[in-house]
């Protein structure tokens, strides 16, 4: 019996934003909206320094980081290398969910699967960079029986992981923009990076010693299936701030999908380490999800030949 999958089933969506933009909040709200719409959902915490995402999803005990499962950091004698120094794909990254030991999996009360790529907090001085964690974020793709999940990847704050080439494994990129000029600038930079990727610009490889690694890095960029970059306004307090952001973004050809307003309930939930539930922001996230589904359908139906990736309504 064939399973008719929903529009976003099997897609990988990366959540990016500057520090303080609220990207983790958006990741949780979108995950809950997806689950409410009937999707299977996975959330991968790929932020090597931030904590609290599991609690925001309503998961009391965080799972063991996948970095341990895949063999630890190369900087400590482990098996997982940095994607900049070694673009080789992570071995066994497309793993069946039931084959992954239970300690590496978390599950929320509303049945959202949760994974942690790795954290730097317990690695001690001299542990090296968090590149191996970035490789897990790039490659890890849990496989389900039946309908495949939507995987949301919550990347570390800033632009670093996208510069490492992690966007090549994503279907959609979501940039979270809070009311700061720095967030607007990051949105513009991400748009330019995705435009270059889709135009066929290849990565810098002068640091790679072996021709095979250079060709592998080039091939990953050629094979990238990034459909586009989408933008969400977040932590907006009033109409004046929202209009200012929209005007600044419009100057660079960017139109946000929607807005999530600042609510005290969300700030308090993060402060208390509690689940993000019953907030007005959840309905706003559900409307944004509808826009993402619409855009994905437009892109699919047009075979990728659409340039203005915005809903028609």
Round to whole Å and give the CA distance between 158 and 169. 18
Q: What is the rounded CA–CA span in Å between residue 147 and residue 149?
A: 7
Q: List domains and CATH numbers for the chain.
A: 12-301 (3.40.50.300)
Burial class (CB in 10 A: 0-12, 13-18, 19+), 182: middle
Residue-wise pLDDT for 28-82, tens only, equals: 999 999 999 999 999 999 999 888 999 999 999 999 999 999 999 998 899 999 9
pLDDT in tens, the chain (313 residues): 344 679 999 999 999 999 999 999 999 999 999 999 999 999 999 999 888 999 999 999 999 999 999 999 998 899 999 999 999 999 999 999 999 999 999 999 999 999 999 998 666 565 668 999 999 999 999 999 999 999 999 999 998 889 889 999 999 999 999 999 999 999 999 999 999 999 999 999 999 999 999 999 999 999 999 999 999 999 999 999 999 999 999 999 999 999 999 988 888 887 788 888 778 899 999 999 999 999 999 999 887 765 555 543 3
- Give the CA angle between residues 120, 122, 126 to the nearest 5°: 70
Cβ-contact 47, 292 below 8 angstroms: no
Q: Which of 139, 147, 174, 144 is nearest to 69 (CA)?
A: 139
């Amino acid at each position: 019996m064939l399973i008719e999958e929903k529009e976003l089933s099997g897609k990988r969506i990366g959540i990016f934003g500057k520090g303080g933009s609220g990207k983790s909040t958006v990741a949780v709200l979108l995950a809950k909206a997806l689950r409410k719409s009937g999707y299977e959902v996975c959330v991968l915490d790929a932020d090597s320094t931030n904590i609290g995402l599991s609690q925001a999803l309503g998961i009391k005990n965080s799972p063991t980081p996948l970095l341990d499962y895949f063999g630890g950091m190369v900087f400590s004698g482990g098996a997982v290398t940095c994607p900049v120094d070694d673009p080789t794909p992570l071995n066994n990254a497309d793993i069946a969910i039931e084959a992954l030991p239970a300690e590496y999996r978390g599950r929320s009360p509303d049945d959202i699967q949760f994974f942690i790529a790795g954290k730097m907090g317990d690695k001690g001085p001299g542990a090296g960079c968090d590149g191996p964690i970035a490789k897990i974020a790039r490659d890890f793709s849990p496989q389900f029986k039946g309908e495949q999940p939507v995987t949301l990847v919550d990347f570390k704050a800033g632009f670093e992981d996208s510069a490492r080439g992690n966007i090549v494994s994503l279907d959609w990129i979501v940039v979270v923009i809070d009311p700061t000029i720095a967030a607007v600038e990051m949105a513009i930079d991400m748009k330019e990076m995705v435009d270059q990727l889709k135009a066929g610009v290849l990565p810098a490889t002068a640091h790679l010693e072996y021709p095979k690694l250079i060709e592998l890095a080039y091939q990953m960029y050629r094979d990238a299936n990034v459909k586009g970059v989408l933008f969400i306004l977040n932590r907006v307090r009033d109409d004046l701030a929202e209009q200012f952001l929209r005007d600044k973004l419009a100057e660079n050809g960017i139109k946000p999908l929607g807005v999530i307003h600042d609510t005290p309930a969300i700030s308090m939930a993060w402060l208390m380490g509690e689940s993000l539930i019953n907030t007005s922001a959840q309905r706003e996230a559900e409307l944004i999800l509808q826009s993402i589904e619409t855009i994905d359908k437009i892109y699919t139906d047009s075979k990728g030949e659409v340039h203005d990736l915005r809903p028609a309504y």
